[in-house]
Amino acid sequence: MAIVAGIDSSTGRTRIVACDSGTGAVLRSGKAPHPVPDDPDARPGEADPQIWLHSLGDAAAGGLLEGVRAIGVSAQQHGMIGLDAGGVLVRPAILWNDPRSSGAAAALLDALGGPAAWTAAIGAVPAPSYTVAKLRWLAEFEPANARRIAEVLLPHDWLVWQLLGHPKRRTTDRGDASGTGYWSPISGEYRQDLVKLALGHELRLPHVLDPAEPAGHTPEGLLISAGTGDNMAAALGLGLGPGDAVVSLGSAGTIFAVHERAVVDATGLVSSFADATGRHLPMVATLNAAQVLRSTAALLGCDLEGLSDLALQSSPGAYGLVLLPYLDGERTPALPHAAGTLTGMRAESMAPRHLARAAVEGMLCNSADALDVLRAQGIEVKRVFLLGATGRLPAVRQIAPQLFGVPVVVPPPGAHAARGAARQAAWALAGTPEPPRWELPEAVTVTPDAEQDLPIGSGVRQQYRAAREQIHPETAG
């Protein structure tokens, strides 16, 4: 038995798991928060990359990596670490969640000719989180720093480079590269013309490794795999394959599926990312997910568990009560200026249990609409993995299979991205054509009954669709 490890460096913490390379069983695990910057003026959307190394060391304390033969690295996507010609950090890293580049993203959208031009180029419309938008912001607001930058790394690229002892060759993988806005999953090549459009000059960019290709070995001889972005690592950790989709219910929603080819959606609703296996992860996003339930629970004076209990006391369709959950506008469907709407209010429907049910159904119908956007691109969805604490609520687990129309897998809480990074390390260590088969222990699968659940789900979605199209007729069709 070989032991492999996966590191996941997120926005706020580092998680590490050490796994059996053959079965994926987690043998040891650790986590540590990123140190709080000493500078009181530090921006929340910026970081000194050195804190990620300090956090990694804290998470690995106590011999966690003892006996490990290979390590994989997952990290937050889209960040920008600018280095000068000598490999020296020019300024603090700008993270994916820094909001300053919203105007830069809009300017880039127009500069290339709109959504259709961008999706034809890179399979996506550049969002403010994308690295290319950060480059455009830098060129406008920090031109001296922009001129100094000679190369750009993503967070996982930088961590791999550090673990390897600063080799001359910088590397990345196709999954993380596909979130930059200047690497195309369609062609599999960098678009230096888009780098120049954003920054004003071309950059030295990291070599894109094949999925099972090692990045190298540490000075101590430890194999380091290619690494990848956190969504791609999570897909690998969950063992997703063609026909599998993920609905991740954070405050906002992330919905993606495994597909064999890049998707070009001229509307820009679908972002075509690459995955960590050689396939693709077309993705859509909703602005409203778990926050819909939290806001409704606060209105009803209960917690999420209480909301779930109330929802299960109601019946499908919530006595005609429909909540269109666009509390902060919506991205999918494209309703940026919308607000939430509660319709179907009658004397018999005005009860807490029905409002709780309408909130759960509204959130899940919105996610089901997003899944349909993927299906409309020819992406097969045979099974849905439901992620996030909200997905483990009994009401959500019961109602989701009815509305999604396919079996729903609810994995146990865990460090899925770190486990995916470890699985990639095991793959690179083995040198096999496909990654090792790792089972997902303790996952619960809920399969809808074709004679009972599917007609119920169809009726609820029809009621929701009628309300949506009446309030927002631009979504019809």
Which residues are known catalytic residues? 230
Taking the C-alpha atoms of residue 170 and residue 161, their distance in angstroms, rounded to an integer, is: 7
Phi/psi region, residue 471 (left: phi>0; alpha: psi -120 to 50; beta: rest), is alpha
Taking the C-alpha atoms of residue 109 and residue 176, their distance in angstroms, rounded to an integer, is: 21
Instruction: Please report, in angstroms and rounded to a whole number, the separation of the first and last CA atoms in the chain.
Output: 55
Query: Greatest CA separation found in the chain?
Result: 72
Chain centroid offset of residue 93 CA? 20
**Residues forming a β-bridge with 173:** 209
- List the structure tokens of 273: 């990312």
Taking the C-alpha atoms of residue 453 and residue 449, their distance in angstroms, rounded to an integer, is: 5
Taking the C-alpha atoms of residue 125 and residue 265, their distance in angstroms, rounded to an integer, is: 9
3-state SS, residue 244: strand
φ/ψ (deg, to 5) at 79: -65, 170
Chain centroid offset of residue 30 CA? 22
DSSP states along 378-390: T---SEEEEESGG
- List the structure tokens of 316: 């499908």
**Residues forming a β-bridge with 9:** 14, 75
Closest by Cα among 379, 383, 387, 370 to 446: 383
DSSP-derived secondary structure letter, 268: S
- Residue 328, exposed/middle/buried by CB under 10 A (0-12, 13-18, 19+)? middle
Question: Crossing angle for the helix pair 230-238 and 416-430, nearest 10 degrees?
Answer: 80
Taking the C-alpha atoms of residue 255 and residue 461, their distance in angstroms, rounded to an integer, is: 18
Q: Is the separation of the CB atoms in 209 and 200 below 8 Å?
A: no
